[in-house]
Structure 1
Amino acid sequence: MWRENKGFSTIETMSALSLWLFVLLTVVPLWDKLMADEKMAESREIGYQMMNESISKYVMSGEGAASKTITKNNHIYAMKWEEEGEYQNVCIKAAAYKEKSFCLSILQTEWLHAS
């Protein structure tokens, strides 16, 4: 060992700080993007659940094929039913979605209803 060693040198300290700075500047933006993607996925899942409930109600009773606006978990969803030939399209749009709305299609029938 060196007898006159009094601690870390300036170069060692600067290299350690630069490594920590690199790690922080790399990990923090990735973490923020991961959290934003998680919120987007949760919002889309809620949208799919609401579309599924609306389609189930339509298939079981023949009702519920009206366009409406729903507020859930501080997000506003706009659900729109459209006829396209022999299909019913159910589209949902929310401000949380950065891209356009997403849709599901079902075959429109008069005899399918359970009641």
Structure 2
Amino acid sequence: MAKHDDFSCDPSKWSQDKLLRERRNGMPAVVAEYERRIGESEPQATVPHVVQKRYDDFSCDPSRWSDDKLSRERRNGMPAVVAEVERRANEREIEQESEITSVSGFSFR
């Protein structure tokens, strides 16, 4: 059994119990270590899976936030948050337009 140092500042040295308790606080380093350990314990699938985009809802950069956090924080009216909401909306519109033109096969000129 591996030795654990629950008083270390490095979450990779913590026991599983301490990691579970501290994960609830949402510190990005702790959450990342928890996900890494869970990923190691899961059996590897033969079918490649889609990598989900990771979000850091505790970052100061709104571009790294999840859509849920972004919509909640948008109500506060911070310019950087509003700009990120608009940027993501524009990206979605562009994706939808490209899907429509690629599916239809018709050219509208």
> Whose strand fraction is larger, Structure 1's or Structure 2's?
1
Structure of larger gyration radius = 1
TM-score for both structures, normalised by structure 1: 0.25
TM-score for both structures, normalised by structure 2: 0.27
> Whose helix fraction is larger, Structure 1's or Structure 2's?
2
